[in-house]
Amino acid sequence: MNKNHNPKPMLKYLMATLILFASLLSFGQTQKPVIAILATGGTIAGSAQSSVQASYNPGILSVEQIISSVPAVNEIATLEAIQVCNISSQNMEEQIWLQLWKTIDSLFANKLCDGVVITHGTDTMEETAYFLNLTVRHPNPVVLTGSMRPASALSADGPFNLYNAVALASSKEAYGKGVMVAMNDLFFCANDVTKSHTTNTAAFTCPNYGPLGQMRDGKPSFFRENLFIHTTRSQFELKGVDKLPGTEILYAYAFASDLPFYSLIEQGTKGIVIAGAGHGNYNRPFATAMEHASKKGIVVVRSTRIPSGGVDKAAEEYNSIFPVSYNKNPQKARILLMLALTQTKDTKKIQEFFEKY
Ligand code: GLU
């Protein structure tokens, strides 16, 4: 042993290491991510008269009541609760979308939270998710969740869905991944996710690309990446927008009437998406009405009522002069068209949007 060894500097070094270690530990404890829970209603806020009945009323519980059913979320994040509305999502309104966008934009721009979780009815969750995916221009996680069983049901799925959504929104891995939907232990990208079962707890799928990943023990494990343009790379700007261009969907089926077409043309609709049969097909009256609409400056996009496979430029019977939606289902194609129409009516440019977003 070196006789000249002086224990003091060593002690000092040890103490400094301990203090640093302790402060790192306490930093870890106090610096939980801040997650804003934006509640909009749906079954996750729903209540039935008994724990086993199928009928119930959505949009009953407040955001505080929903959160209080999942005490474990407080261990992973510091929560800020905001009640945006309390509706069934079939009653979603354009003004609520704009309000959601404004709230999220200002929360992130002012660094008031690290991530956002939106509780939402499952019926139109995929639409709100895609709208925000194209318009929230921040890399912070935005995750939508809900439930298929009301909060009062036996084996309600809302609490675990909320836990997983908060865990996903709190994770580093979720940064820059675009808006996601977390349901039934899986999470999905907003551009492909769709509700594909009316009542089952495994109601959501990404029919073209599969889920983005799954939650286990409060940690996300990603299976793949979403390569479509979203959030920070999106060119859609909502600042100063208080009304979106009127855009509707028309469904094609055997001997479908063209009457709704002419009524939309008369009402000054700006864009129409065709939920075509098969590979984006429609009957002769539709074909005539579509040409008429496009002569009036209405942008018509061919999509499909088939859940997977999408529509490309190939066409039967008619020369396809209309933009196609590729893998966007009609409800997502409508949102992209609506936002595209805030910038252009040029069908070539609109087609390019469908290739990239
Ligand atoms: N139809 C209601 C809604 O979308 C309930 C469906 C649900 O949340 O699962 O809000």
Residue corresponding to tokens 């009323």 = 57
Q: In this structure, is residue 242 part of a structural domain? A: no
Answer yes or no: do 261 and 225 share one domain. Answer: no
Query: What token pair was written down for 187?
Result: 């999470």
78 labelled catalytic: no
Nearest CA to 180 out of 114, 231, 129, 219 is that of 129
In short, whether 121's Cβ falls inside 6 Å of ligand 1 is yes
Query: What token pair was written down for 279?
Result: 């590979």
Answer yes or no: do 80 and 179 share one domain. Answer: yes
Amino acid present at 349: K
Given the residues 40, 43, 119, 145, select the one marked as catalytic.
Answer: 43
192: CB partners within 8 A, 6+ apart: 206, 207, 208, 209, 327
Tell me, what CATH number does 60's domain have?
3.40.50.1170
Q: What is the DSSP letter of 173?
A: G
Ligand 1, atom 8: closest residue by C-alpha: 121
Task: Dump pLDDT digits (tens) for 107-158.
Answer: 999 999 999 999 999 999 999 999 999 999 999 999 999 999 999 999 999 9
pLDDT at 171 over 80: yes
Q: In this structure, is residue 2 part of a structural domain? A: no
Amino acid present at 285: P
- Among 233, 260, 291, the domain-final residue is 233
Q: Which of 56, 57, 89, 118 has most ligand 1 atoms within 8 Å of its beta carbon, as the pocket-test mutant?
A: 89
Q: At what angle do helices 125-135 and 94-109 cross, to 10 degrees?
A: 50
Answer yes or no: do 211 and 272 share one domain. Answer: no
Query: What token pair was written down for 48?
Result: 């039935």
- Among 233, 265, 282, the domain-final residue is 233
Answer yes or no: do 334 and 303 share one domain. Answer: yes
Answer yes or no: do 215 and 265 share one domain. Answer: no
Within 10 angstroms of residue 36's Cβ, the number of other Cβ atoms is 23
Tell me, what CATH number does 260's domain have?
3.40.50.40
Residue 223 C-beta-side C-alpha neighbours within 13 Å: 13
In short, whether 335's Cβ falls inside 6 Å of ligand 1 is no
Answer yes or no: do 65 and 135 share one domain. Answer: yes
Q: In this structure, is residue 5 part of a structural domain? A: no
Rounded distance between C-alpha atoms, residue 231 and residue 177, angstroms: 9
Amino acid present at 147: S
Q: In this structure, is residue 194 part of a structural domain? A: yes
Q: In this structure, is residue 335 part of a structural domain? A: yes
HEC sequence for 45-100: HCECCCCCCCCCECCCCCHHHHHHCCCCHHHHCEEEEEEEEEECHHHCCHHHHHHH
Within 10 angstroms of residue 249's Cβ, the number of other Cβ atoms is 18
Q: What is the DSSP letter of 230?
A: -
User: What's the gap in Å between 317 CA and the centre of ligand 1?
Assistant: 39
pLDDT band at 30 (very low <50, low <70, confident <90, very high): low
pLDDT band at 19 (very low <50, low <70, confident <90, very high): very low
Answer yes or no: do 207 and 281 share one domain. Answer: no
> 78 - beta bridge partners?
34
pLDDT at 1 over 80: no
Answer yes or no: do 212 and 278 share one domain. Answer: no
Question: Average pLDDT of the chain?
Answer: 92
pLDDT-wise least confident of 7-21, 25-39, 152-166, 297-311: 7-21
Answer yes or no: do 195 and 298 share one domain. Answer: no
Nearest atom in ligand 1 to 147's CA = 9
pLDDT at 354 over 80: yes
Quote the number of domains for the chain.
Answer: 2
Task: Dump pLDDT digits (tens) for 180-231.
Answer: 999 999 999 999 999 999 999 999 999 999 999 999 999 999 999 999 999 9
Q: In this structure, is residue 239 part of a structural domain? A: no
User: What's the gap in Å between 207 CA and the centre of ligand 1?
Assistant: 21
Task: Dump pLDDT digits (tens) for 238-297.
Answer: 999 999 999 999 999 999 999 999 999 999 999 999 999 999 999 999 999 999 999 999
pLDDT of residue 15: 41
Which of helix, strand or coil describes residue 32?
coil
pLDDT of residue 315: 86
pLDDT band at 50 (very low <50, low <70, confident <90, very high): confident
Residues spanned by the domain of 48: 10-233
Amino acid present at 125: M
